[in-house]
Chain A
Amino acid sequence: QVPLVESGGSVVQPGGSLGLSCAASSFTFITNDMHWVRQAPGKGLEWVAFIRYDGNNKYYTDSVKGRFTISRDNSKNTLHLQMNSLRPDDTAVYYCAKGSTTTIDSWGQGTLVTVSS
């Protein structure tokens, strides 16, 4: 596993916003595609968003389209996920992950987002 360290998880009220970050090291970030995957408490894995190595292509799962934005800063080896209009069912551990359009080969340790009043 390559080091991927997420940060930014917190408790937020429904309708609120939160930004997650993922710091990458020990690999060439600029040449690698990246994903966000989430896992609700006690549940399975759900793919959330993808961004190509150059930031030119982005894909989202339907439930977050229009609310979440994935981005990256290749000069700082950092991946971001901006989450707006948060709902209780967005509560999950959010994993930053490295991979390609067809796979995920490394995962971070995750950061917990709790949406609750």
Chain B
Amino acid sequence: DVVMTQSPLSLPVTLGQPASISCRSSQSLVSSDGNTYLNWFQQRPGQSPRRLIYKVSSRDSGVPDRFSGSGSGTDFTLKISRVEAEDVGVYYCMQGTHWPLTFGGGTKVEIK
């Protein structure tokens, strides 16, 4: 199985400051069709997860443009340009290139 490793585990951030979450995969996520199926999800406290980003950098409808995804191969990053209070929660990466689908362990974003 592809192992997804996120860092850091916990990310205290000052409101209005940027935040960055790393996600690394144990194998390349480049698919045979040429796409890279790396997704990012946000799970606010007490809520279900919500997809933010798919195929590395495509933002879902309704997701603020302060969220951006980047990366290639085995190394990916989710960036929040200016953290707001509503961004508190746990963020997960998930690869969809190889079966079984696998998630990273999560990064908890909290306000300092």
Contact = CB atoms under 8 A, between A and B. Distances in A.
Interface of A: 1, 35, 44-47, 50, 59-62, 95, 100-110
A110 B103 contact: no
A105 B96 CA distance: 12
Interface of B: 31, 35, 37, 39, 41, 43, 48-51, 54-55, 60, 90, 92, 94, 96-97, 99-106
Contacts of B106: 44-45
Given A45-B49, A95-B49, A103 B37 contact: yes
A104 B92 contact: no
Contacts of A100: 96
5 smallest A-B Cβ distances: which pairs?
A102-B96, A102-B37, A47-B101, A107-B48, A45-B103
Given A44-B92, A45-B41, A104 B51 contact: yes
A61 B102 CA distance: 10
A106 B51 CA distance: 7
Contact of A108 (B43, B48, B90): B48
24 contacts: A1-B48, A1-B50, A44-B92, A44-B104, A45-B41, A45-B49, A45-B103, A45-B106, A46-B103, A47-B102, A50-B101, A59-B99, A95-B48, A101-B96, A102-B31, A102-B35, A102-B37, A103-B37, A103-B39, A104-B39, A104-B41, A105-B51, A105-B60, A108-B48
A59 B86 CA distance: 35
Contacts of A1: 48, 50
